[in-house]
Structure formats: C-alpha cells, structure tokens
Structure 1
Amino acid sequence: MSGNTLELDELERDALTELVNIGVSRAAASLRKMVNKQVILSVPSVEVVTRKSAASLIGQRESETLIAVQQQFEGPFSGRALLIFPESNGLSLIRAIVGDDMTEADLIEMEDEALAETGNVILNGCLGSMANMLQHTLKMSLPNVRRGDSALLFETLVSGGEESFVLFLYINFSVRERDIRGYIAMIMDLPSLENLKQLIASFIDRVMTENE
C-alpha cells in the first residue's frame, strides 16, 4: 500500500487474516447447515488496496461476467461488502446448494434468490464474527445481486473519490466436491479503515495479555 492508504504491519496483517479465517469458517458452518452438505471455505490471502487495484486484480484473473452479492454494513467501521464470483462459478455454487435434479430454466429462475441468500449467510457470518471478536457489532442491510465486470462493480458502488479502499480477500470454496473460487471485498473509506486498524491493535493487545 502506498500514498494515503494505511499500512498494516506484519502482526496486524496476521491478526486480520486470522479474524477473516475464523469469520469464513463460521460462515461455512452456517452454509453447511443450510445445504446439509460439507462446505469448506478458506482465505489464502488478505490485502488492503485501492478500488482501482481491486477491480484490476479481479479483471486480470476473470474474463467472464461477474456476479456480486452486496450488502451495506454499519458500525465502528462501515462500508459495503461484496461477495463476487465469475458467473459460471455462481451457477456451479447454486447447483451445489440446490442439487443436480433441477432443470437449467428452474435454476436460472431461482439463481438470484439463492445467490442473495448464500451471500447473506457468508457475508453476515464473516463480518459478524469479525466484529464480534473485535468486541463490536455491525448492522447489515438486505442483500442484492448485481452483474457486470470488475470496473463496474467497484466504480458505481462508491462515491467520494479515491478515498475509498478495499479489504480484498480471495476465497476458495469446496461444496459437494465442487471447487469454486470467489472474492470478498469490503469497501471502506479512510476513517473506517483507521477504526478497523485500531480495533485490530486492541485485539492483538488482548490476545497478548491473555497469553502472558
């Protein structure tokens, strides 16, 4: 990160990665109850980047249309969370959740509803448990589904110029032996990111005190 972004030191980055991984494992547990099948979710990397960088990171990796489930979150740190899949992976995820015995037409008809519900479970599980471990709560809006390329998803959602940054997570899913890749992006302004950094510092202090 450079310019007016916030640097996270190694300890803060490790703590954030740990918080995120606990969050997604709780989300996976909720999803497992919903689909009654084994769900494995992992986050191999966590980065803080500008909106432009986030759009280009996805754009370089994905050539097809993207599907995003988005929710607003408010609390000590506020912003907009997106769960993003390449379109084919989104359909694959829905098929894994609802089963293989549905026709293509039925699948497409219920796709947005199923995606919104899945996104809600994952984003709420991830953000809710992160906030909980930071000893706060977040209020989440209802989910909605958007389609487009990465530039559209990141550009049209945020006003306020370049003062918006993205907590960007690669995620790997495994549901019913299907491997599905996706991304979670939390778009926040600088004050929210600074608040999150302070909460992470307090979390590290608490963990170290407990381990002494």
Structure 2
Amino acid sequence: MKTLLSSDEHELVVELMNIGIGRAANALSQMVQDEVLLSVPDLQFLHPTEASGSFCHYMPGALAGVMQDFSGFMSGRAALLFPEERSLELVRAILGEDMSVGEISELEQETLSELGNILLNNCLATLANLLNQQVQTEIPQVFNIETPNLLSQLTLDGEQDSASVIMLVQIKFSLRERDLEGYLAFVIDVHSADKFIAALQQYLSELIE
C-alpha cells in the first residue's frame, strides 16, 4: 500500500501519537492505580480488507469498545477496544474492588464512556496542540461487536469501498498488575487528509528554521 506521507511525516505522526498516548496512559494509570504499559504506535495505510484482517489478527473474538468521532484539521473516528469478557474487570479496576458485580454492571456503560472520553480526548487534544491546530470531538459511544464487523463500525458512515484507504494507528496497552490489555485505534479519513498533511509539513518546516 502506497503511503500518503513522506518518511519524515510518518515518523512525526508516530512520535506525536506516542506523546499523546503517553499522556492518556498517565490519566488511565491514575484511574486504575496501576502502571500502564504501551507499545510503539503502529501506523499503516490499508485497504479496508487489509484493515479488517489486521483487526482479526490482533483482536479476535468479541470486543467491547468506546468510539468517538473527531473533526477539524483531521477527521475520523477513534476507538478504545478490549476483549468483551474483560470489560467488567476493567470497570472494577476503575471503580474499586469493593463493589459488587451488580453495582459494576449498572455503571459499566457510563464508566467505559468516561474512560474512552478521557483517553481518546487526551490523545487527540495533545496531537492537535502540538501541531497548533484545533480538533473537535463528539460524545463517545459504547459498543459491543464481533471483530469481523469492527471495520464497518469504525469507518465513517460505514464507507469501505475497495478504492478507499484507511490510515490506521494501533497502540496496544496493558496493565502491569492485571491480566488486562486492549488497543487504541485511530481511523483517519484520507479524503480530508490535506489539512492534516499540511499541519505536519508546517510543523516540520518550523523545526528546520
């Protein structure tokens, strides 16, 4: 797949995402009182079928997630994803060990929505601030889905025609003291990528000056 970015722009996106997810991870670490371990962001340009295959490889099975649309200097959809059977455990880590299963179940949707809002907003806001740009985010939505259907959930308006290209940034996170891991994924609409690329080029040109 031909990339839309130069090698310098590609490295810059990875570096900025690394900073953004690092700040988001600090917020999560405080919420769960545990160290959050992160992978290096993996940036790929994929056809929809390739993206679907990537999801099935890294995140097989039933997933719980929180997704959030964003627009501004870049547009797309961001998502926090983790195995569905572990969602209550993640909520318990946030709310505290002394809560009953019933209490946690009642607060699951609200807690996951707030978690997604904190993590995704942190990352997107940091990226925008570092590039001196503006980004607007929508209200996060909690969902449950089987991995083969994930792509249609994450692509804007379900558009995944064979000619389209998905810019996918995947970041794996895990908790040191708990057997919990998940992914952050950012699907960026390449049809409106001109502003995003221009912001990257402006940032790089200011580094040279």
| Same fold per superposition (TM over 0.5) | yes
Q: Is the 8 A contact 2:60 2:147 kept in 1?
A: no
Structure 1 residue runs of 4 or more that deviate by more than 4 Å after TM superposition: none
Shift in Å, 1:105: 2.3
Q: Is the 8 A contact 1:52 1:151 kept in 2?
A: no
Aligned length: 204
SS across alignment from 1:155: helix
Equivalent residue, structure 2, for 1:178: 178
Query: CA–CA distance in 1 between the matches of 2:169 and 2:201?
Result: 19
SS across alignment from 1:83: strand
TM-score by length of 1: 0.84
Query: CA–CA distance in 2 between the matches of 1:83 and 1:51?
Result: 19
Query: CA–CA distance in 2 between the matches of 1:184 and 1:172?
Result: 8
Please tell me the root mean square deviation across aligned C-alpha atoms, in Å.
Answer: 2.2
Equivalent residue, structure 2, for 1:167: 168
Equivalent residue, structure 2, for 1:44: 40
Partner of residue 158 from structure 1, selected from 151, 156, 159: 156
Is 1:90 the equivalent of 2:87?
Answer: yes
Query: CA–CA distance in 2 between the matches of 1:36 and 1:180?
Result: 11
Query: CA–CA distance in 2 between the matches of 1:164 and 1:7?
Result: 10
Matches for 1:1-212 after TM superposition, within 5 Å: 1-2=1-2, 6-33=3-30, 35=31, 37-48=33-44, 49-156=46-153, 157-159=155-157, 160-162=159-161, 163=164, 165-174=166-175, 177-209=177-209
Q: Is the 8 A contact 1:27 1:123 kept in 2?
A: yes
Residue-by-residue CA offset, 1:37-77 (whole Å, 9 max, x unaligned): 24425232322323332222121233321112011111011
Identity of aligned residues (%): 30
TM-score by length of 2: 0.85
Gaps of 5+ in 2: none
Gaps of 5+ in 1: none
Shift in Å, 1:36: 6.7
SS across alignment from 1:44: coil
Query: CA–CA distance in 2 between the matches of 1:190 and 1:7?
Result: 8
Q: Is the 8 A contact 2:74 2:195 kept in 1?
A: yes
Indicate the larger mover: 154-163 or 114-123: 154-163
Shift in Å, 1:103: 1.9
SS across alignment from 1:22: helix
Query: CA–CA distance in 1 between the matches of 2:48 and 2:35?
Result: 30
